[in-house]
Structure 1
Amino acid sequence: MRAWGGDQVAEAVAGSVELLRTATDEDWTGVRAGRLEWTCRRTAEHVAGDLIAYAGQLAGRARTAYAPFEITFDEDAGQAGVLDVVETTGALLAAVVRTTPPRVRAFHPYPFRSADREGFAAMGVAEVILHTHDIAEGLGLAYEPPAGLCEDVLTRIFPHVRPGPEPWPTLLWATGRGELPGRAPVTGWRWHNNLVLPTGRLTLEGLTPAAAADLVAGGDGGFVWLGDAPYEGTREVAAGLLKAYHAGVHRPEFGAFALVRREDGRAVGSLGFHGTPDEEGRTEIGYDLVVPARGHGYATEAVDALAEWALARDDVRLLCAAVREANTPSQNVLTRAGFVRADVEREFLPEDDTPRLYTRRARPPAAP
């Protein structure tokens, strides 16, 4: 999967500034930016502030909160000066993204309190193109960013949004700035960085639709794999995630995860849900490891961590995993991870191919 982020931030900023420089003689302080309450100037200053904030978060590896700083403009800075600052802060974010290792994360509140370099880049691109749209609308300018940029943003930080016919109208709709046929207007929204769950030796990194699409196409999904390629089951899981995304039923927290070894940053397998919990709070999981990673307890560690996270939720009461009768190693993984064997009916399958069901239940609430 190609490195993504720095070049896209630079592309978004260049397109924005090129357009807005044609209107620096207009009154930016007396005109609202599109549907926002802010003026066009205030909106441009907001873009610059976000770009430098994202660069600071990622460069400083902020852990628990935003770094307590903000950008200020000289009192006599005109519109051209504001755009100079947007260019400068955009260049800083692009440089930080390009030089940050792929597994590094820093604090961002939505929704799981962290983002990686792609997440910060996608948020930066979104801020630039969406607010350029707002300013352009206020100033009566025509603006449409490249479709590829819009799709990149959607598949990285809007995984919960079903793709529409075209990426740009879909992004405008998803952020309350436009309409799409057959969809209700959006009145409130947040973007959605991927979920990451740490274990003792691993990090479970939620797959974005962008990563899933690359895996389905035969790529690496943005990971360096032990053994040089993912196991085929990982590509199948990615295909299922992508199908759910295009159907509009993908819930990222019940998607799929790459298992990344902390000691060297190599991915050793995948783990994920087969779907969202049903009305009784039941959902199924599956997992695989690349061959060189087997026999080291990674699967047990990952399954146990995911089970702990899922069963702590209010909407999950029972986790299930189906394992072939002959797959003793996988049955041992589930047993060590706290699952117990359940009775299932044997139908249509030969004895040695019959799936065995293992379950793990949520703990009952503690007595008052």
Structure 2
Amino acid sequence: MDDLVTARLVLHPMTASEAQRVVAGKSDSGARWAPGYPTDGDVSAARRFLATCASTGDPQPFGNYEIRRREDGQAIGGPGFHGPADTDGSVTIGYGLIPSVRGKGYATEALRGLLLFARARGATRVKGDADHDNIASQRVMLAAGMQPAGQDERVRYFEFAWTDTTANTDPRP
């Protein structure tokens, strides 16, 4: 599968061998990791990805990605789908960045790219959530065009849904 390219980022579809290196914390000679990558969240996502690969096969295109800056090729975080679309066409997404690059719009840019990608692959809805105290993540989802979709005692839920009248709508406000 090809990389997804946005204005400042490359969203690289993770392979099982790349996920194994993330879990082990060992970059190969071709990968360039920014200081602080992978985070605990990246390692957890890579483990989930590997478990999915082992149980049902590679979930691409709805698998994990690595966020790389186009300017230097360094990995700075990772977005990923939590699996293929369900019977209603819904997918769930998560994302994270190393602390040193937060607040620069990278997460919003990556999320917008994956929203468009999901739609092009037939998804009808993309869901995400953030803890109540994770205001930054909530702002990322809102900036990417996702809408509040409820909450419980722990998290707030967000979604972007396409209807027949919004089938070709770009998820930017």
Find the aligned partners of 2:44 and 2:166 in 1 and give their Cα distance: 39
Q: Which residue of the partner structure matches residue 274 of structure 1?
A: 82
Task: Quote the residue 2:170 is aligned against.
Answer: none
Pairwise CA distance, 1:216? 1.2
Note the alpha carbon deviations across 1:308-338, whole angstroms, 9 max, x for none.
1111232x11100010011101100000000
Q: CA deviation at 1:228?
A: 4.7
Q: 1:357 aligns with which of 134, 152, 157?
A: 157
Which structure's residues are more often helix, by fraction? 1
Give the TM-score, by structure 1 length: 0.43
Quickly say closer, same or farther: Cα 1:343–1:229, change in 2 above 3 A.
closer
Q: Which has the higher strand share?
A: 2
In the TM superposition, what are the counterparts of 1:173-212 in structure 2 within 5 Å?
194-212=1-19
State whether structure 2 residue 109 is matched by structure 1 residue 301.
Answer: yes
Q: Is the 8 A contact 2:65 2:79 kept in 1?
A: yes
Equivalent position of 2:32 in the other structure: 224
The equivalent residue for 1:264 is: 72
Instruction: Summarize the Cα distance change of 1:272–1:295 in structure 2 as closer, same or farther, 3 Å threshold.
Output: same
1:214: Cα distance to partner? 1.2
How far did 1:255 drift? 0.5
Q: Could you say what secondary structure the match of 2:113 adopts?
A: helix
Deviation sequence 1:96-125 (CA, Å, 0-9, x none) = xxxxxxxxxxxxxxxxxxxxxxxxxxxxxx
* TM-score after normalising by structure 2: 0.89
Separation in structure 2 between the aligned mates of residue 300 and residue 366 of structure 1, nearest angstrom: 20
Secondary structure (helix, strand or coil) at the match of 1:195 reads coil
Higher Rg of the two aligned structures: 1
Is 2:66 aligned against 1:244? no
Question: Which structure exhibits the higher relative contact order, with contacts defined as CA atoms closer than 8 Å and separated by 6 or more residues?
Answer: 2
Taking only the aligned residue pairs, the percentage that are identical comes to 34
Conserved 8 A contact 1:261-1:268: yes
Distance of 2:106 and 2:149 partners within structure 1: 24
- Aligned-pair distance for 1:233? 0.7
Give me the whole-angstrom Cα distance separating, in 1, the residues matched to 2:103 and 2:36.
18
Supply the distance in 1 between the matched residues of 2:36 and 2:135 (Cα, whole angstroms).
26
The alpha-carbon deviation at position 364 of structure 1 amounts to 2.4
Note if contact 1:195-1:253 (Cα within 8 Å) is conserved in structure 2: no
Letter of the structure 2 residue corresponding to residue 257 of structure 1: Y
Q: Give how far 1:355 is off.
A: 0.7
Q: Separation in 2 of the partners of 1:223 and 1:331?
A: 30
Contact kept? 2:25, 2:38, Cα under 8 Å? no
Instruction: Extract unaligned runs of 5+ from structure 1.
Output: 1-193
Q: CA deviation at 1:267?
A: 1.0
Can you list the C-alpha shifts for 1:121-156, whole angstroms capped at 9, x where unaligned? xxxxxxxxxxxxxxxxxxxxxxxxxxxxxxxxxxxx
CA separation in 2, counterparts of 1:284 and 1:296?
24
Superposition pairs of residues 339-358 of structure 1, within 5 angstroms = 339-344=146-151, 346=152, 349=153, 354-358=154-158
The answer to whether the 8 Å contact 1:238/1:256 transfers is: yes
The CA distance in 2 between the partners of 1:365 and 1:195, in whole Å, is 29
Measured in 2, the distance between the counterparts of 1:293 and 1:226 equals 10
Distance (whole Å) between structure 1 residues aligned to residue 150 and residue 37 of structure 2: 36
Q: 1: CA distance between counterparts of 2:166 and 2:134?
A: 36
- Measured on the aligned residues, the alpha-carbon RMSD in Å equals 1.7
Find the aligned partners of 2:77 and 2:164 in 1 and give their Cα distance: 31
Q: Which amino acid aligns with 1:359?
A: E
Other structure's SS at 2:133 match: coil
